[in-house]
Copies of this chain bind each other. A is one copy, B any other.
Amino acid sequence: MKNCSVFAPATVANVGSGFDVLGFALCDIGDVVQVRESSTPGLVIDSIIGADNIPLEPEKNVCTVAAQALLNSLEKKPSNGYSFSITKKVAAGSGLGSSASSSAAAVVALNELLGSPFSRHELIPFAMKGEALASGAEHADNVAPSILGGFTLVQSYEPLRVVKLHYPDDLVATIVHPHIEVKTADSKRILRQSIPLKTAITQWANVGGLVAGLAQEDFELIGHSLQDVVAEPTRSMLIPMYELVKILSKELGALGCSISGSGPSIFMLSDAMNIAQSLAESLKDLYMDNLISCDVYLSKINKMGCQVIQ
């Protein structure tokens, strides 16, 4: 029986001003899902390594829910079943697209086993079913960059249109994940459901500036345009040391800094690896000095997205 293992990168969604629409993929950090054909029909989770509290029941696990969505849309269903082994490196509740990484890896691996009936773009809606299970909403801002790689914009949901954006090669992200839990649902609840028109205009001016800055490789413009006036003002209150991290990132020369997804991870973008590195070291020290454990990552933008590794 055939099997396939896929690495799906962790992702930074929102990217400052691009609340609910922008995202980019990270290198090295991500989940691996192995899918194996099995003679028993149906989907089974064999093992989950690297996380507790993730359900083994196929109808409660994002991998199998996403995989089932893919199978449902095949005209000719396979007669065999599939079993899944999940190796999690992206911590749940980190704000780095943990559920998206697992969902993305599952559908890309299954698609590979089936002889690639779907394109990468076509796999996004299936992985979104995993997101719906995890957070109650079929959002694409993490699964899109995890599957496609690079910097993505979800331009529309109905119909789904995901755009790969041009971005400068030199862009480097520094990520800090302070080990506190912020549930996506809680983080969504503290947002106002209605915003002043003026605030909205500021935000879309920044989204326009960010996309233009990426396209025109204008690092200064990228920095100015990362500012999020919608979610950051309230969500940042849930993240320890947020203001200090922001000051530090400015002092050390980052282009900008904002919340990754719904937090608590914070990302910074820089135009040079040495800046990103000195940020990473200072962030480690800052959280350690304040007795908060954390993980710090340094990453260029992942061009590839999901990768078949076996």
Contact = CB atoms under 8 A, between A and B. Distances in A.
Interface of A: 17-22, 153-156, 161, 163, 165-166, 191-198, 200-201, 203-212, 215-216, 218, 221, 224-225, 230
Nearest to A231: B197
Taking the full assembly, how many copies of this chain does it contain? 2
B204 A197 contact: no
A280 to B, nearest CB: 29
B197 A166 contact: no
Contact of A21 (B17, B193, B201): B201
Given A163-B221, A212-B215, 10 more contacts: A18-B204, A20-B205, A153-B212, A155-B225, A163-B209, A200-B204, A203-B204, A208-B208, A208-B211, A211-B215
A203 B200 contact: yes
A55 B224 CA distance: 40
A156 B205 contact: yes
Contact of A207 (B166, B204, B218, B224): B204
Contact of A163 (B192, B197, B212): B212
A208 B166 contact: no
Given A192-B197, A211-B211, A206 B155 contact: yes
Given A208-B208, A230-B200, A155 B221 contact: yes
